[in-house]
Amino acid sequence: VQLQASGGGLAQPGDSLKLSCSFSTSIADHYPIGWFRQTPGKERDSVACIPSSSRGYTYYAPSVKGRFTISRDNAKNTVYLQMDSLKPEDTAVYYCATAETAMYGTTCLTRHHYDYWGQGTQVTVSS
């Protein structure tokens, strides 16, 4: 499975950006999806995820809850991360990921469970 993240760029505080992650193969609902982010010298942190067979459930890191929205379009083999009310501390390289093993509940926020990663897209929030 290959993933291609896009949509990053430069934004001002309060702006919105929408990231996309395209998959090389069909993504069925049993594939968990995660967005993570990383800044230099720090570990890759969870941002948001959709667990396997989600039935509409999504999970978010406390720092982005209420501002970011993760979604998937299986017909387009694409997942999205809508980022609103951006803050300077959201500046990072953002990565999408998936796994062949099912994940349920908040387990999908755990980085080391994922098998496949996109190349990352830079998001910079600055005035």
User: Cα separation of 124 and 127, whole Å?
Assistant: 10
CB 57 within 8 A of CB 119: no
pLDDT of residue 81: 98
What are the average pLDDT values for consecutive 10-residue runs of the chain, which has 127 residues? Answer: 94 98 86 96 96 89 97 92 98 96 92 94 97
Please give the pLDDT value at position 55. 83
Residue 70 has a pLDDT of 97
Counting Cα atoms < 13 Å in the Cβ hemisphere of 11 gives: 23
90 in Cβ contact with 44 (< 8 Å): no
Q: What is the pLDDT of residue 10?
A: 97
Distance of CA 84 to the CA centre of its chain: 14
Check residue 54 and give its pLDDT: 73
